[in-house]
Structure 1
Amino acid sequence: MEKGKGRKIVVGMSGGIDSSISLILLKKNGWNPVGVSLKFGTWENSCNNVRENSCCTDESIKTAQKVCMKYSCKHVTLKVGENFHEKVIKYFTETLKSAKTPNPCIICNRYLKFLELFKYAKKNEIEYVATGHYAKITKSKKLGGLFISKPKDKKKDQTYYLALLPQEWLPNIIFPLSNLTKEEVYQMAVEEDLDFYLKLAQSQDFCFVSEKSLKSFVEKEIGVKKGLIINKQGKTLGKHNGLANYTIGQRKNMGLSGGPYFVVEKNVKTNELVVSTKKSDVLKKEIDLISVLFANGIFEKQAGKKEGIKVKVKIRYQHKPASAVIIKDKNTGGRVLYKLVFVKPQLAVTPGQYAVFHIVNSVVGVGEIK
């Protein structure tokens, strides 16, 4: 890690172990960290089990304050609930309405978390921002510029969720955990007398609504229009509880006998959920992408050529990277679309999710699955 030489740096502090250790590492390397906690909102409804946003509960913010106090660092809490609702929850509901599957974390990082941290940094004349994400910023002469790259701990790799960050931000971002494993982070917490972190369970829910409350959230926020479940031949098999409650590739909780059945399509026009007993019907070798962003013009130019660009692609966070070629689609009626052609067909390609392209360990582009 670059030595700080007393320079200030904004550190996004959730109150979790990763952001806390990030602040400590920066302090030990000569930086002057300012811990900044963002106070988001939740879905305000009596049936929501998440009473506070799991990224920033009052308790977790108090923990962040204690860590900052212990290491003689300034701590600030910014209330961004209104922006969170506008940028993240609204995106989430609008995507569900269109029968797509939203990815609020990738949107939140781009349009809220990092944006708010950089706004605070600029206002206070601070040049750098750090977070506890497992990722690296690397420079490559061969690829041409700075890139978000995979960290030492490949199991905790969070580059997928950071793929939308603008190129111009990268020179001013530091990821202190880039060369540490999660186990090493835990060990450091013990050494720093922060071993209470070892007892904290990590939630897998969305930060603003619990998994148990998600169905109620959908019903309340976008309404439920029940419809038919049909097979690919058009035969009616049952009724669904609103297209927003299902995702492509899903094979449980459909109330159908004689399966297993896989969700292969959500038809918004007819309000029908199309299913199949064949796993092969959920496999796709080619997909269309919209809103594609490349790390630089070199890749955009290469994608416009006949041979396209050979990349490794993740179509969701836990997806094993797959070999593919990305090619600019010439027949789009003036709209810039790209086609992703996989070497081997991929399971459960889900509209609304993001495809993130890697060359070696670096993110070179990202696009929304159409």
Structure 2
Amino acid sequence: MSIFSSHTPHVGVALSGGVDSSMSVKVLQRYGYTVQGYTMSLWNPDQHKKQTMLNNARRVADFLGIEHHIIDLESPFREAVVHYFQREYLAGRTPNPCVQCNRHIKLGAFFNAVRANGGTHLATGHYAQIVTSDDNLRVGVSMADDPTKDQSYFLYAVERETLRSLLFPLANAHKYNIKAEARSLGLYNVIDESESQEICFVPNDDYRALLQELGAVNIPGSFLHASSGRVLGEHQGIWNYTVGQRKGLGVSYSEPLYVTYIDPATNTIYLDTLEHLATNEITVGELHWQYGYPLDLPLRGSVKLRYRSTPSPCTVEHHPSREGYIRITTDEPALGAVTPGQAAVVYNEARVVVCGGTIAPRA
């Protein structure tokens, strides 16, 4: 079913000032939608960067001839995203703040503000697709047509009823075509052309410096060899490290060592060689089921363990010893580290998100 099958009186577009959100406005205007631009004002330690983004969005709205609103979400963003980010690192996990932001802020508090201003739907520049079942009882997210930009991974935790009021105008687009059209329309004269791959509130992609600014204290502890139990050295605080890390450990050994496990209870970091990172069994909790729940388990599907990873064929079943968790068994050992705190997102054979959750530490 096309997202453009029926017109709505007022669509709010999440306008960042970048090419994707700007072109989302143009697509909607082309189909005759009444559009207003909304920009989130979020907490950011880099005030210049924050103000530049707000100014860019305002210029784009003027260029496109639409009404523009700025929504102050600094306080809820700090609580739902920044504090979460801080807590997870201090607990020895590697967080995924984009999942939290999409669920609680952009498609939560922000959408509520759009509704309060009369908006019936929210459109964003996400590269993903909304899918509904033939009986319209089930709704979910599937992968975008452009696999290099697909963002369905970040949307597994969005409430199903919220999905019914979302529009993703770029669902069937490819990034290179979007850029080309933006240039032809003259949008590149006003948009912010740069595309940051960093976390928006982490200056220079240096999360350690940010955590220190937020008050994190280094508490040294032991590096232990996971296989032998031998003390290999002293770490500088568990939040400075992540599972899978090799560089910056400051430990001499006959082979390259990687962080394989972080134990916050004893302030200990375990190291071992690369082969000890490989696993094909992943425990996942904090589950959010989306399309087609409840489902009978086990089921066959594929799983993404990182945003840019390739989905791996897998079997999903209830965890045999941890209630409320699932066990994902991949057909082949996962390439790279399976990192606690990151999201694991399961897709069915039609590339639709079935469920997602948070990777738990290995026992």
State the TM-score, normalizing by the size of structure 2: 0.91
Q: Percent identity?
A: 28
> Which whole-Å CA distance do the structure 1 matches of 2:355 and 2:153 have between them?
10
Distance 1:113 1:86, change over 3 A: same
> Which whole-Å CA distance do the structure 1 matches of 2:84 and 2:8 have between them?
40
- 8 Å Cα contact 2:157-2:290 kept in structure 1: no
Matches within 5 A, 1:1-370: 1-2=3-4, 5=7, 7-43=9-45, 50-52=46-48, 57-141=50-134, 145-196=138-189, 200-211=193-204, 213-220=206-213, 221-232=215-226, 233-258=228-253, 259-277=255-273, 279-296=274-291, 298-303=292-297, 308-332=298-322, 335-346=323-334, 347-359=336-348, 360-370=350-360
> Which whole-Å CA distance do the structure 2 matches of 1:18 and 1:197 have between them?
13
**Structure 1 counterpart of 2:239, one-letter code:** A
3-state SS, counterpart of residue 66 of structure 1: helix
Shift of 1:249: 1.0
3-state SS, counterpart of residue 164 of structure 2: helix
CA RMSD of aligned residues (A): 2.1
Distance 1:339 1:212, change over 3 A: closer
Tell me the alpha carbon deviations over residues 153-185 of structure 1, each in whole angstroms, 9 at most, x when there is no partner: 110001111111111111111101111111111
- 8 Å Cα contact 2:343-2:356 kept in structure 1: yes
- 8 Å Cα contact 2:284-2:359 kept in structure 1: yes
Tell me the alpha carbon deviations over residues 196-250 of structure 1, each in whole angstroms, 9 at most, x when there is no partner: 4788332232211224642222234321111121212121222212111111111
3-state SS, counterpart of residue 21 of structure 2: helix
Shift of 1:21: 0.6
* Residue number in structure 2 paired with 1:47: none
3-state SS, counterpart of residue 301 of structure 1: coil
**Structure 1 counterpart of 2:264, one-letter code:** V
Residue ranges of structure 2 left out of the alignment (5+ in a row) = none
**Structure 2 counterpart of 1:119, one-letter code:** N
> Which whole-Å CA distance do the structure 2 matches of 1:152 and 1:338 have between them?
29
Distance 1:300 1:326, change over 3 A: farther
> Which whole-Å CA distance do the structure 2 matches of 1:141 and 1:320 have between them?
29
Residue ranges of structure 1 left out of the alignment (5+ in a row) = 44-49
Tell me the alpha carbon deviations over residues 257-296 of structure 1, each in whole angstroms, 9 at most, x when there is no partner: 333211101121221211112x220011212111212125
Shift of 1:4: 6.2
Shift of 1:362: 0.8
Tell me the alpha carbon deviations over residues 6-47 of structure 1, each in whole angstroms, 9 at most, x when there is no partner: 72101001111110110111111101111000000124xxxx
State the TM-score, normalizing by the size of structure 1: 0.89
After TM superposition, which residue ranges in structure 1, 4 or more long, deviate above 6 angstroms? none
- 8 Å Cα contact 1:218-1:245 kept in structure 2: no
Distance 1:188 1:212, change over 3 A: closer
**Structure 2 counterpart of 1:337, one-letter code:** Y
